[in-house]
Amino acid sequence: MSDQRAAVITGASQGIGAALVTAYRKIGFAVVANSRSIRSSDDPGVVTVAGDVADPATATEIVATALDRFGRIDTLVNNAGVFVAKPFTDYTPDDYATVMNTNVGGFFHLTQRVVEPMVRQGGGHIVSITTTLVESARSDVPSVLASLSKGGIAAATKSLAIEYADRGIRVNAVSPGLIDTPLQGGATPEQLAEFHPLKKAGTVEDVAHGVLYLEQAPLVTGEWLHIDGGQSAGR
């Protein structure tokens, strides 16, 4: 097995995922980066796999690529996700299918396939990006499908942390507040800042910093780390 650790990062073409690729490369990991539209990288330490995480075949291809190119998977970051904010009764069956298949299906298919090599290796780290809306709903951002899907991932994070603790696999989540990425549809940092008690918008580097903290915290598992300017604490 190679000495260089390897991370799989989904949703890596832009936003938080792209920042995570940079952050993991800086601490010396090789990276398998995925998104539907991702292009190949000039960095020999980054291999890309284009595909929809909702499709189990994408998960199979990502794991096969990581093991073929790097011989190991030390970390999985489940970052790919979609956000559809609407009043509850406005959600369509298509909205439901897209959000659940991408967020929950993407988490399930890839996490399941990554656990096996991690058990063989004697450990690993799985971290998923949820949202602080799971615990602190807002009347001005109705988003039940975000809570349903990311709330499931948050709960599963604790379940998996306990199920695999004796096999050396840590499982954590990061709960961002409002982070300045294309997902925010052009909202300015000043507008995003208004949602946070700290009155600062989040940056992709803020989230990457939190993920790297968890990466380097061997006694931390089953944790939901909030990177949300105080949003989950109250208003």
Ligand X SMILES: NC(=O)c1ccc[n+]([C@@H]2O[C@H](COP(=O)([O-])OP(=O)(O)OC[C@H]3O[C@@H](n4cnc5c(N)ncnc54)[C@H](OP(=O)(O)O)[C@@H]3O)[C@@H](O)[C@H]2O)c1
Contacts with ligand X, residue ranges (CB under 6 A): 10-17, 34-38, 52-54, 79-83, 102, 129, 131, 176, 178-179, 181-184
Nearest approach, Cβ of 228 to ligand X (angstroms)?
8
What are the distances in angstroms from CA 86 to CA 81, 143, 170? 16, 6, 34
Grouping H, G, I as helix, E, B as strand and the rest as coil, residue 183 is helix
Instruction: Confirm if 195 and 125 have CB atoms less than 8 A apart.
Output: no
Nearest approach, Cβ of 212 to ligand X (angstroms)?
16
Of 52 and 61, nearer to ligand X (C-beta) is 52
Q: Are strands 169-176 and 124-129 parallel, antiparallel or unpaired?
A: parallel
Of 25 and 167, nearer to ligand X (C-beta) is 25
Contacts of 163 (CB under 8 A, 6+ apart): none
Of 122 and 185, nearer to ligand X (C-beta) is 185
Phi first, then psi: what are they for 32, rounded to 5°? Answer: -105, 115
Nearest approach, Cβ of 144 to ligand X (angstroms)?
14
Nearest approach, Cβ of 224 to ligand X (angstroms)?
12
Of 23 and 129, nearer to ligand X (C-beta) is 129
